Amino acid sequence: MVLPEDSDNSLVDALDRIADSLEKNTDILNRIANHYDGVVPVMTRNANRAESMAEEQERSFGQQVKDIFSPQEH
């Protein structure tokens, strides 16, 4: 298939715009990934810390109840 010379320029322009869009999208995705990598570990660490504190409080409360109702030695 033979294309007129003018159509080559429009194809090249379209391919250049596509390449530019891909570069912009890659930059945006890299920024999102960097943000994700920075935030998720902190959120995970805080969630684990909160869970361990809740478990410790439950154990402490259970022990307090046992202490209240256990026989007292005089």
Return averaged pLDDT per consecutive 10 residues of the chain, 74 residues in all.
62 94 97 94 94 84 78 70
pLDDT at residue 21 in the model: 97
Cβ neighbours for 3, distance < 8 A, ≥ 6 positions apart? 11
What are the tokens at 64? 């307090």
**C-alpha–C-alpha distance, residues 15 and 25, integer Å:** 15
Provide the 3-class DSSP secondary structure of residue 70: coil
Instruction: Provide the whole-model pTM.
Output: 0.51
pLDDT at residue 71 in the model: 77
Q: Which amino acid is at 56?
A: E
**C-alpha–C-alpha distance, residues 36 and 59, integer Å:** 34
